[in-house]
């Protein structure tokens, strides 16, 4: 009696060499997918907001470990990315950003245009630092 699996085995002859090649291709594609995802995650949650902080403030004051929320909207060439951090302004930074006001009452906002039709902003408000980049 010939079963269906027996019929199919005639069409797919998997030798040891072919099996190794197939497994190697699958592993390579998996590595590429995982690497692409990891690179995208690192760029959008660590490098990009750090770059915006360096451009607008001169140095980084909020770090990826204090990230509360990350939002993005991209549609047909328009979009916005927003990062919100738990943030307490250090006393030494209050003199840089708030003209000597005490750090408890200091709130600041910085805006920039790194490229035409691209706007960036950093806003400190009640223990939360919000970084935003949007483009038209």
Q: What is the pLDDT of residue 9?
A: 55
| Cα–Cα distance measured from residue 48 to residue 91, given in angstroms and rounded to the nearest whole number | 26
Locate all alpha helices (DSSP H) within 15-135, ordered by sequence.
Answer: 16-42, 48-57, 91-97
Question: Kind of pairing, strands 78-86 and 109-115?
Answer: unpaired
Please name the residue that has the structure tokens 């660590």.
46
| Cα–Cα distance measured from residue 125 to residue 107, given in angstroms and rounded to the nearest whole number | 6
| Cα–Cα distance measured from residue 134 to residue 72, given in angstroms and rounded to the nearest whole number | 10
What pLDDT tens digit does each residue of the chain (136 aa) get?
Answer: 555 555 555 556 667 888 888 899 999 999 999 999 999 999 999 999 999 999 998 888 888 899 999 999 988 889 999 999 998 777 666 677 777 676 677 788 899 998 889 999 999 887 789 999 999 8
pTM assigned to the model: 0.75
Please name the helix (run of DSSP H) or strand (run of DSSP E) that holds residue 6, with its range, or none. Answer: helix 4-9
Q: What is the pLDDT of residue 69?
A: 93
């Amino acid at each position: 009696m010939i079963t269906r699996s027996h019929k199919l085995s005639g069409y797919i002859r998997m030798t040891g060499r072919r099996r190794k090649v197939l497994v190697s291709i699958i592993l390579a594609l998996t590595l590429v997918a995982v690497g692409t995802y990891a690179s995208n995650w690192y760029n959008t949650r660590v490098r990009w907001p750090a770059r915006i902080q360096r451009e607008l403030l001169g140095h980084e004051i909020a770090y990826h470990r204090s990230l509360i929320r990350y939002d993005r909207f991209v549609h047909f060439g328009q979009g916005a990315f927003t990062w919100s951090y738990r943030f307490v302004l250090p006393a030494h930074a209050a003199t840089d950003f708030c003209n000597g006001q005490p750090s408890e009452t200091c709130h600041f906002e910085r805006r920039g245009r790194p490229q035409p039709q691209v706007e960036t902003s950093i806003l400190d408000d009640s223990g939360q630092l919000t970084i935003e980049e949007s483009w038209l």
